């Protein structure tokens, strides 16, 4: 399973599914700023200052918890369906520093690619499965079909059109397929359309009873796809 990470779609999978970016920090930003303004008006170290400080800490904790819940559920879903996870070896801090605008830098920080990678790796390795990190260089510009580079592709282009062989596909899906190809696994078929993963709280994980306890179970329709389709 190749996974391309992004700002608009947090994760685009090589089987054609994708996860929208919930942007928890961006959606909580107004409330955080309101609490920060309230905190700035309180007398330093007063009882009301500590109350506002606690509220601010809880709001940041809520954002972190939402991210981690999403990341671990995504890891549980993918690790139940696949034995191999291929990720980009991203320099997240470098991406944030190179962000053209303040909004882009904030959204890169909000996406927390490094934490997402750690959570996915932890879940896969815990289940005895394989995680590979491959070079992220030119994954968006390299054609999955012919392997040549589209030098004219920009950040605004959402569709990849190869000027050499004419291969046309969603930009992020192409990148996830290129990652999978670089790891040595080449699917014999390319997904024809993108399909969104269900949102939280389920993320497509189904609960079933086993021994009196509830257990998370992923939908079986893509199980074994990688090993069956790989050469």
How far apart CA 58 and CA 103 sit, in angstroms, is 24
Return the bridge partners of 2, or none. Answer: 86
Nearest Cα residue to 114 out of 137, 139, 132, 91:
91
DSSP type of residue 206: E
Q: Count Cβ atoms below 10 Å from residue 18 Cβ, excluding itself.
A: 23
Helix (H) or strand (E) run with residue 85 in it: strand 84-89
**Helix or strand or coil: residue 18?**
strand
Task: Indicate which residues carry an active-site annotation.
Answer: 4, 88, 172
Cis status, amide bond into 20, omega within 30 of 0: no
Return the bridge partners of 5, or none. Answer: 11
Alpha helices in the chain (DSSP H): 24-41, 47-81, 92-97, 102-111, 113-126, 171-182, 225-229
How far apart CA 191 and CA 139 sit, in angstroms, is 18
Give, in degrees to the nearest 5, the angle at Cα 122 between 207 and 125: 90
């Amino acid at each position: 399973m190749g996974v391309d990470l992004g700002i608009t779609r947090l994760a685009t999978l090589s089987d054609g599914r994708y996860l929208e970016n919930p942007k928890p920090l961006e959606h909580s930003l107004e409330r955080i700023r309101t609490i920060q303004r309230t905190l700035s008006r309180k007398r330093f170290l007063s009882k009301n200052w500590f109350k506002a400080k606690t509220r601010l800490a809880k709001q940041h904790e809520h954002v972190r918890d939402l991210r981690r819940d999403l990341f671990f559920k995504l890891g549980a879903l993918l690790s139940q369906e696949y034995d191999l996870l291929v990720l980009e070896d991203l320099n997240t801090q470098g991406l944030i520093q190179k962000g053209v605008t303040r909004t882009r830098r904030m959204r890169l920080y909000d996406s927390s690619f490094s934490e997402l990678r750690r959570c996915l790796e932890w879940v896969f390795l815990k289940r005895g499965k394989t995680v590979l990190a491959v070079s992220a260089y030119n994954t968006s510009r390299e054609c999955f079909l012919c392997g040549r580079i589209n030098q004219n592709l920009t950040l605004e282009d959402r569709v990849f059109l190869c000027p050499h062989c004419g291969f046309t596909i969603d930009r992020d899906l192409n990148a996830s397929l290129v990652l999978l190809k670089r790891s040595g696994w080449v699917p014999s078929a390319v997904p024809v359309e993108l399909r969104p993963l269900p949102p939280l709280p389920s993320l497509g994980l189904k609960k079933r009873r086993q021994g009196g306890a509830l257990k998370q179970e992923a939908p079986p329709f893509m199980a074994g796809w990688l090993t069956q389709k790989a050469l």
